Structures are given as C-alpha cells and as structure tokens.
C-alpha cells in the first residue's frame, strides 16, 4: 500500500488534504506555508506546479500561479520544493499539475523525477483517463498513485473508466466549474458521494469550493473519506504574503479549525 492509501486506512475520521502552489509567494514563503499546514494537522499535502494557463482554476489559484511564475518557479524548482518539504516531514505528497508540464518534460522522466523528489501521487487536472494511458503506466512503474476526478456530470459509463484508472483515492469535484472558495457547500457533493460509494472501495475525497469548518462537518456526515481545501488556503497565503510569520499563524489556525470539524 502507498503512503496515500495508508492515510485513509489508518484514520477514523476523514482526511484533510491541503493544497498549496509551489513557489507561492516565493520558495521560502511556500515552505513556511507548507510547514504551517503540516503542523496544523493536514494528512496529505497537495502541491501545485504553476502553469501559464490554469484553465481548471478560479481567480484565487490563478493569481497564485502567476505569482509563482513571476517569482521564477520552474519544473526543477518545483521538484526542489518537494525536497524542501521532505527534509522535515514524511507527510504524503500529491502533485497537482497541468498536462503540458508533464508532456513537455517527457511523461516517464517527469514521474521518475517526482518519485526521486519524494512525491507519492500525481493528479493531472486536464487529463481525463481517456488521455491518460501513458501516465497511468508511468505511475505503475514508479509506484505513484494516479488520481483522477469524477464530477457531477460524469456519466455512469465514464465513472467505470475513471474508477479503473484511479489508485490511492478518487477525487470528487463537488460542483461543476473551476476551483475557488465558495460560501455554501454544493448540494451535489452528497449526491455524488451516494452515487459513487456503492461502486468502489477507493476512498472518496471531495474538493472544490470547500472553505469553512461547517462544510467539513457536512461532508464528514455525508460520508466523505477526505476533503481537499485549496483556494481558502491560497487566499491566506496571498493576504499575508509580506509577513510569513503572520501567514503561518493564520494558516495553522485555519487548518486546526478544519481538522477539528472533521473529528467527533
């Protein structure tokens, strides 16, 4: 079993998966944010590689990609950031990247470098399983988990294909659209969990729009095995980019609150 799989196996509450963008606001700032997330109690760290055209992301994460690229983030720097985290933590690390980054590097090479840097899983946002044969093969060879998404619009037929390609956990998009913190939790999240649950033994982690402790509690009650929070964290990085100490405290507090809401 992979490190990601073990998280879900050992926890008796849903896992908290925290997303940050490598190099946002800079290499040291990212590291401070990652440390705060981990110390606050995140179970899995998801690290985004910034891309010039992040079409699956809303404004908050787009701005983070822009900041990181403006600060000079590269694919080499991305792998360095993973190594930075590995120096002080054994937390499972999931990489979230856009397809062209992997394609340009060469699929097999990217996976080899990811493993060498200390990654445990890969999620390629704009790569449905139909286009993912080579990546899935590379993931098997390097023993990385390859995570795919299911959305409210995913048909039953395609869901089968998604489930067959996925390992580690299945990422459920709680709503149709792009990433971004929302005030209200989408009603579709619960519906999607109920639809997918009987078809798989994979853990189900819900993402997109989750920003508050009450969202976490509601998803726990709806049967989620994990929740993924990105924009709400990235927003804290953005707001306090000039004061890393303050940023770390804010993030720590936020993660502790979300974690608490998943317990009990």
Which stretches of the chain bind other proteins, using CB under 8 A?
51-56, 58-59, 62, 66, 69, 74-75, 98-101, 103-105, 125-128, 130-131, 148-151, 153-155, 158, 162, 173, 175-178
The total number of residues shown for the chain amounts to 264
- Active-site residue, 57 included: yes
Of 65 and 259, the one with the shorter C-beta distance to other proteins is 65
**What SS3 state is found at 235?**
helix
Owner of token pair 């039953």: 156
Tell me the C-alpha distance between 35 and 85, whole Å.
Answer: 8
Residue 228: which of 256, 208, 248 has the closest Cα? 208
**What SS3 state is found at 202?**
coil
Residue 237 CB, nearest distance to other proteins (Å)?
18
Of 75 and 115, the one with the shorter C-beta distance to other proteins is 75
Phi then psi dihedrals of residue 243, to 5 deg: -135, 80
| 94 close to 47: Cβ distance less than 8 angstroms | yes
Q: Which residues contact 105 (CB under 8 A, 6 or more apart)?
A: 75, 113
- Active-site residue, 113 included: no
CA 221 to chain CA mean position, Å: 21
Residue 253 CB, nearest distance to other proteins (Å)?
30
Among 24, 43, 57, 113, the active-site one is 57
Tell me the C-alpha distance between 190 and 183, whole Å.
Answer: 17
Residue 159 CB, nearest distance to other proteins (Å)?
10
Of 142 and 165, the one with the shorter C-beta distance to other proteins is 165
Of 148 and 254, the one with the shorter C-beta distance to other proteins is 148
Of 99 and 115, the one with the shorter C-beta distance to other proteins is 99
Distance separating the N- and C-terminal Cα atoms of the chain: 27
Residue 186 CB, nearest distance to other proteins (Å)?
11
Residue 193 CB, nearest distance to other proteins (Å)?
16
The catalytic site residues sit at: 46, 57
């Amino acid at each position: 079993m992979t490190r990601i799989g073990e998280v879900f196996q050992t926890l008796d509450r849903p896992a908290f998966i925290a997303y940050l963008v490598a190099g946002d606001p800079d290499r040291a700032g990212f590291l401070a944010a990652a440390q705060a997330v981990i110390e606050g109690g995140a179970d899995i760290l998801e690290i985004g590689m910034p891309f010039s055209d992040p079409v699956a992301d809303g404004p908050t994460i787009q701005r983070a990609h822009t900041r990181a690229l403006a600060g000079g983030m590269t694919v080499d720097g991305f792998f360095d950031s993973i190594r930075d985290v590995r120096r002080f933590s054994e937390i499972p690390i999931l990489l979230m990247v856009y397809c062209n980054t992997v394609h340009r590097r060469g699929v097999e090479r990217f996976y080899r470098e990811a493993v060498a840097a200390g990654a445990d899983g890969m999620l390629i946002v704009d790569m449905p399983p139909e286009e993912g044969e080579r990546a899935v093969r590379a993931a098997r060879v390097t023993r990385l988990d390859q995570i795919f998404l299911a959305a409210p619009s995913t048909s039953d037929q395609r869901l089968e294909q998604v489930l067959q390609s996925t390992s580690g956990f299945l990422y459920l998009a709680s709503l149709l659209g792009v990433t971004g913190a929302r005030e209200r939790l989408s009603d579709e999240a619960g519906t999607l969990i109920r639809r997918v649950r009987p078809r798989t033994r994979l853990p189900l982690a819900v993402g997109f729009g989750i920003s508050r402790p009450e969202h976490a509690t509601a998803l726990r009650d709806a049967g989620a095995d994990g929740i993924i929070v990105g924009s709400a964290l990235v927003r804290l990085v953005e707001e306090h980019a000039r004061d890393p100490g303050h940023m770390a405290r804010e993030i720590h507090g936020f993660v502790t609150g979300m974690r608490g809401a998943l317990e009990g």
